């Protein structure tokens, strides 16, 4: 998750122009957490390119990232970013529907795509000799997508069924949606990535084409190639494929409302017969890595690890091992976001313990933060965080994701390369400050997930 993202540095604003006005490849070297040397450059049409060499096997991971996600969906068209991701596989003038996927399969490769709040990405993993083929196909659908109602309507039904399967029949997903909508009362992070059911039903070809023309442009995209390649090779292939796509002149603006400062704690409860295990969840509105000030993001990341990062964390030791009131407990921080984000605490009650009683225990433990933040616990958490960034760099596809997601939200090379040093520099006093400032009731939404009788289903 956020650890993955931090392991390798994305492209920042340190590019230099040569006398011809062309952007040179910028070798950034190894990150402070280890990892391969990387290079970056920009094509004449504005496409950012990152090259991550990995010569252990003759394989390449090819990813194209667009700086748009569900938080950029127009009002009333929730889910359009995700819907368009589906439609991007419906063919172009040069390649009919299914041709791209068949090519990947015939070459023994893998492919997928995903939509998040802040970006949409498409990737393939193939033998290095087929990298040019992947670039050709992906560059073609950057500008040549062809849609008609004959493919749009059936694919909308696919997305509707996806929502039914993932949300409508899953009480925990319903709780998550309700809690996000309560935490983000004004910002689109409170709208599910897949969209609201009634708005998905109204999405059409015009919505998809308008969104496609707005965001799917070279200057709004990031190409990441990780694998058995060289920067010169990737530059040549990228110029011959993506370089032929005409730019639109400027990157589209991403205008989003700012979430107001919360003033009161909120509660959500979901009761459903399908619930097998009651759960307590809590979200706090906090800064992200992009909105944090004076290192608060690093402190929040380390705080989540200290109090809730696994079986050695403070929450787990107190609630599960010592008090026996929970069978699981932890915390996490979704730091990788453009706008203010969420810090989460969760606990699963032991047999015979009510959620109300468990919540009292959780609050009591959280109030003992000074006790949790002893020097040894902080040092162990720092070692774990930095070590995980090193381990994540061992995966080629992970490296590509690190670069793409970081650049897509606007992080700079200096910020990410300095991440291990910044984590090491977080002090106990700083952890206490962010805990006191952000882990307070007024900034929280607490959710209960409980089992109900068939005649007693409710969301309150």
Comparing C-alpha atoms, which of 285, 264, 266, 256 is closest to residue 184?
285
Q: What pLDDT was estimated at residue 18?
A: 33
Task: Mark whether 351 is an active-site residue.
Answer: no
DSSP state letter for 120: E
Q: What pLDDT was estimated at residue 396?
A: 87
In three state form, how does the secondary structure of 53-99 look?
ECCCCCEEEEEEEECCCHHHCCCCCCCHHHHHHHHCCCEECCCECCH
The CA-to-CA distance between both ends of the chain, in Å, stands at 31
Cα dist. 312→307, 322, 359, 381, 397 in Å? 9, 12, 20, 10, 29
The C-alpha torsion from 246 through 247 and 249 to 250, rounded to 10°, is 170
d(CA 202, CA 197): 9
Comparing C-alpha atoms, which of 278, 366, 367, 283 is closest to residue 326?
278
The H or E element spanning position 225 is strand 221-227
- Residue 280 token pair: 């307590």
259 within 8 A of 187, measured Cβ to Cβ: yes
278 within 8 A of 454, measured Cβ to Cβ: no
Sorted by sequence, the CB contacts under 8 Å of residue 157 that are 6+ apart come out as none
d(CA 354, CA 428): 33
Q: How does the average pLDDT of the chain come out, rounded?
A: 90
Q: What pLDDT was estimated at residue 4?
A: 35
Q: Give 4-59 pLDDT, tens digit per residue.
A: 333 322 222 222 223 233 334 444 444 444 556 888 999 999 999 999 999 999 99
Q: What pLDDT was estimated at residue 12?
A: 27
Q: Give 163-198 pLDDT, tens digit per residue.
A: 999 999 999 999 999 999 999 999 999 999 999 999
d(CA 103, CA 234): 20
344 within 8 A of 309, measured Cβ to Cβ: no
- Residue 354 token pair: 């009510």
Cα dist. 158→102, 146, 165, 269 in Å? 20, 19, 11, 29
Burial level of 177, CB count in 10 A (0-12/13-18/19+)?
buried
d(CA 448, CA 278): 7
Q: What pLDDT was estimated at residue 1?
A: 35
341 within 8 A of 189, measured Cβ to Cβ: yes
pTM of the predicted model over 0.85: yes
Residue 246, strand partner residues? none
172 within 8 A of 279, measured Cβ to Cβ: yes
- Residue 404 token pair: 């793409």
110 within 8 A of 127, measured Cβ to Cβ: no
52 within 8 A of 8, measured Cβ to Cβ: yes
Residue 346, strand partner residues? 281, 330
Comparing C-alpha atoms, which of 52, 83, 28, 37 is closest to residue 397?
52
The H or E element spanning position 328 is strand 326-333
Q: What pLDDT was estimated at residue 390?
A: 76
Cα dist. 302→35, 202, 337, 345 in Å? 21, 43, 17, 14
Q: What pLDDT was estimated at residue 414?
A: 67
The one catalytic residue in 32, 85, 414, 424 is 85
Largest CA distance in the chain: 75
Three-state DSSP class for residue 51: strand
Q: What pLDDT was estimated at residue 391?
A: 80
Domains and CATH numbers, the chain: 37-242 (3.30.830.10), 264-449 (3.30.830.10)
Q: What pLDDT was estimated at residue 456?
A: 54
- In the predicted model, residues of the chain with pLDDT beneath 70 are 1-36, 413-414, 416, 453-460
């Amino acid at each position: 998750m956020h650890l993955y993202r931090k392991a390798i540095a994305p492209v920042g604003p340190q590019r230099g122009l040569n006398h011809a006005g062309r952007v040179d490849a910028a070798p950034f070297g190894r990150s402070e957490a280890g990892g391969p040397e990387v290079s970056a450059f920009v094509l004449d049409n504005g496409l950012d390119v990152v090259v991550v060499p990995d010569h252990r096997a003759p394989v390449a991971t090819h990813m194209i990232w667009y700086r748009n996600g569900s938080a950029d969906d127009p009002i009333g068209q929730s889910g359009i970013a995700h819907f368009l991701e589906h439609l991007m596989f419906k063919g172009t003038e040069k390649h009919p529907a299914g041709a791209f996927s068949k090519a990947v399969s015939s070459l023994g490769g893998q492919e997928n795509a995903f939509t998040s709040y802040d970006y949409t990405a498409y990737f393939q993993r193939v033998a290095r000799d087929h990298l040019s083929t992947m670039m050709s196909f992906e560059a073609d659908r950057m500008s040549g997508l062809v849609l008609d109602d004959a493919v749009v309507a059936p694919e909308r039904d696919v997305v509707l069924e996806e929502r039914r399967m993932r949300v409508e029949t899953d009480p925990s997903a319903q709780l998550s949606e309700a809690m996000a909508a309560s935490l983000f009362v004004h910002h689109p992070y409170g709208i599910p990535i897949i969209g609201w059911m009634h708005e998905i039903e109204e999405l059409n070809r015009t919505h998809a084409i308008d969104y496609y023309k707005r965001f799917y442009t070279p200057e709004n995209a990031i190409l990441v190639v990780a694998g058995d390649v060289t920067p010169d090779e990737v530059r040549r292939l990228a110029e011959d494929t993506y370089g032929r796509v005409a730019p639109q002149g400027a990157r589209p603006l991403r205008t989003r409302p700012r979430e107001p400062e919360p003033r009161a704690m909120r509660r959500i409860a979901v009761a459903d017969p399908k619930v097998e295990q009651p759960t307590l969840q809590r979200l706090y509105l906090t800064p992200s890595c992009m909105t944090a000030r004076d290192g608060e993001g690093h402190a929040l990341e380390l705080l989540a690890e200290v109090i809730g990062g696994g079986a050695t964390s403070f929450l787990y030791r107190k609630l599960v091992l010592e008090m026996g009131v929970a069978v699981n407990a932890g915390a996490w921080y979704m730091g990788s976001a453009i706008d203010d984000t969420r810090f989460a605490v969760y606990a699963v009650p032991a047999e015979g313990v009510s959620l109300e009683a468990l919540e009292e225990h959780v609050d009591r433990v959280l109030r003992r933060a000074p006790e949790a933040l002893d020097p040894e616990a902080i040092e162990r958490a720092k070692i774990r965080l930095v070590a995980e960034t090193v381990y994540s760099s061992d995966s080629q596809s992970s490296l590509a994701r690190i670069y793409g997601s970081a650049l897509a939200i606007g992080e700079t090379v200096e910020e990410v390369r300095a991440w291990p040093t910044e984590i090491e520099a977080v002090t106990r006093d700083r952890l206490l400050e962010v805990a006191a400032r952000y882990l307070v009731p007024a900034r929280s939404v607490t959710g209960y997930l409980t089992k109900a009788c068939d005649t007693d289903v409710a969301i309150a």
